[in-house]
Chain A
Amino acid sequence: MKKGYKNWGPPLLLIAPTIVVLGIFVYGLIGANISVSLSNRNSLVPATEFVGLDNYFALFAEERFIHSLQNLGVFTVFFIGGTMIFGFLWAWMLDKGVTAEGVFRSVFLFPMAISFVASGVVWRWLLNSAEGDRASGLNRVFENLGLDFLQNSWWNEPGWGMAAIALPAIWQLAGYVMALFLSGFRGIPEELREAARMDGATEWKLYRYVIFPQLSPVALSALIIVGHMSLKVFDLIMAITKSIYQTEVPATYLWVALTSNDYAKSATIATILLLFVAVVIVPYLIYTARAEKRQG
């Protein structure tokens, strides 16, 4: 008994502060959030009674909230699609030995070092919705190139406008996906490729049966990371458009609810966001833990 304590008592003691702090500030606050979402704390008045899932039903009955979910859906599809396509393309081109590879790599990755607020400044300018003579930003480029039909009002449109917000997000994170894919490509043993070539595999078959299967864990990681970032998108929207209806997503709607002291509503939106992220992340964490165990 004493020996057991001596063996794992000290390590537990070292790690205990972190466990306690995260227990309170992650799990405790998530619990507190859920309990606020089940209450009628819709104003500064602290008098609180339990109302069950009423806030959730009310939220899903709101056209505004459904619209924010649709916006999030459009953004997510374009953001994931764009980062995966460009990330893969760049990694694929750089993998095959390119002069000054480091320069290309560094440039493709650098937007990752900049805050969404700072990049929001320049992208608000680029995605200016004015057209024709008053056009600036990207619309001005189309105007000058004679591609007038490409001019559009970008995010300033409730339907597909969110696809425009995905542009700066892709600009910032495609390089990250590139880095992930590049490390995936570099992890494929050269012998595997050689063996496939010896067997007379065409270039396409080499990719289909050797390279793509080897890259799939990396692709999954990229998909999960970009996907969960997409669900949390907030800074970029606030910086480019502030919180307006056209670009509202659950995270910005939460900000509106919280600043008007509707704690129950902001907590309800938060719980829904958490569930979305958990659906993506929890299976991934379990899968990773298992994969690690298998490796020993």
Chain B
Amino acid sequence: MSVSTGLEKKPGSTETSRTSGMPQQSSIRVRAGLSRTAKYVLLVLFLIIVLMPVYVLIVTSLKPPQDVNPATSWGLPVRWPWEPAFEGGPTGFDNWALAWNALSASIGRTFLLAIPAALIASFLGAMNGFVLARWRFPYADVVFTFILFGMFIPYQAIMTPLVQMKTSLGLPSDVSTLLVVHVIYGLPICTLIFRNYYAGIPHELMEAARMDGSGMLRTFRSIVLPLSLPGFVVTIIWQFTSAWNDFLFALFLSNQNEGPVSLALNNLAQGAQLANYGAAMAGALLASLPTLVVYIVLGKYFIGGLMSGSVKS
């Protein structure tokens, strides 16, 4: 069983199959060739534009402060980091060292936040999704909509009382509070993803288990969970990425010394002037690395999570 992203090409839907077998006039062929070339030129142009910020990030992160100059700001570094620095000053590597020192502790904390948040919310989401997909109890649709709504609210709408609640309960301003928050507000999307996923599992499998006399919990544990791996990959990636990238909850509920990497990065970047953008850019790359690796290695599942955001996946 695999996750369908809906992006796979169906056989026979290519241009060639559409036009094959028809007598072609050479002028049409030339026109088609031209528009085809134009399309590739345009696509490559878009590719360059989309990748341009990445180029800026990498190049700027490698420029030591004394080599920064508006006129050459788009160029490659005057001196590469491995070349001797100007008058023994800092090299491009020092940007990275600075960024690493500023972010490494918070990167560790963010792993401790994002991994459990992803696992717990996914497990609870799997239970909910299983129930909602398989048991037609009264008002099941109402319950589903009730859960789903929590996915779309602007979190600002609950932020004031949440901050007040945190203060009055004396909860810490660190990642442990954020962990609870991310599990809670991750429940709707995890439930949605698993509900759609389980709706695709043959009914007979579970019916057989019930005839067997096994209870619902046992059905879930022994039959459904082992089939759920693709669903788990999607929700874990989704939850991990949103907890890793979250800034809103981090800003309102934690402080810079105990909070996640988004807060530390923002702190590093807000101090940046033109001359020391290098460290901020290196920091942005460091902070993005985990989610980028996830995207590159498990891209298909990442897209699966994205598509479920549109409810009907």
Contacts and interface: CB of A to CB of B under 8 A. Distances in A.
A98 to B, nearest CB: 7
Interface string A86-120: 10001001101110010011111111111111111
A30 B266 contact: no
B156 A285 contact: no
A263 interface: yes
Given A22-B146, A113-B291, A269-B156, A258 B245 contact: no
B169 interface: no
Interface core residue of A25, A108, A190 (most chain B CB under 10 Å): A25
Nearest to B216: A10
B46 A121 contact: no
Interface stretch (B7-15, B79-87, B225-233): B7-15
B154 A289 contact: no
B310 to A, nearest CB: 4
A98 B42 CA distance: 12
Interface in B266-283: 266, 269-270, 272, 274, 277, 280-281, 283
Interface stretch (A132-140, A155-163, A208-216): A132-140
The binding surface of chain B is classed by DSSP as helix
A265 to B, nearest CB: 9
Contacts of A130: 70
A234 B153 contact: no
A266 B312 contact: no
B158 A292 contact: no
Q: DSSP class of A's interface residues: helix, strand, loop or mixed?
A: helix
Given A19-B146, A141-B74, A118 B265 contact: yes
Contacts of A288: 311-312
A18 B156 contact: no
Contact of A179 (B7, B40, B215): B7
Nearest to B15: A97
A15 B42 CA distance: 50
Of the candidates B73, B152, B215, B272, the one having the most CB atoms from chain A within 10 angstroms of its own CB is B152
Contacts of B128: 14-15, 18
B147 A22 contact: yes
B237 to A, nearest CB: 10
Interface stretch (B47-55, B88-96, B170-178): B47-55
Given A25-B185, A140-B73, A221-B310, A93 B43 contact: yes
Contacts of A187: 6
A273 B154 contact: yes
A157 B272 CA distance: 21
Q: Which of under 10, 10 to 19, 20 to 34, or 35 or more describes the interface residues of B? A: 35 or more
Contacts of A171: 50, 53
A288 to B, nearest CB: 5
Contacts of B15: 96-97
A133 B71 contact: yes
B145 interface: yes
A293 B43 CA distance: 40
A42 to B, nearest CB: 12
B163 A274 contact: no
Interface in A259-296: 263, 266-267, 269-271, 273-274, 277, 281-282, 284-286, 288-289, 291-293
Interface centre among A22, A113, A176, A291 (most CB of B within 10 A): A113
A225 B154 contact: no
Residue among B152, B157, B285 facing the most chain A CB atoms (10 A cut-off): B157
A186 interface: yes
Nearest to A36: B160
Given A10-B217, A270-B156, A21 B187 contact: yes
A93 B312 contact: no
27 contacts: A17-B124, A29-B165, A32-B161, A36-B161, A97-B9, A98-B40, A107-B47, A108-B47, A108-B50, A109-B303, A111-B50, A113-B292, A113-B302, A115-B287, A118-B265, A121-B269, A122-B57, A125-B60, A133-B71, A171-B50, A179-B303, A183-B307, A222-B310, A242-B270, A251-B156, A270-B156, A285-B148
Give 4 nearest A-B pairs by CB, closest first: A183-B6, A8-B137, A115-B245, A97-B14
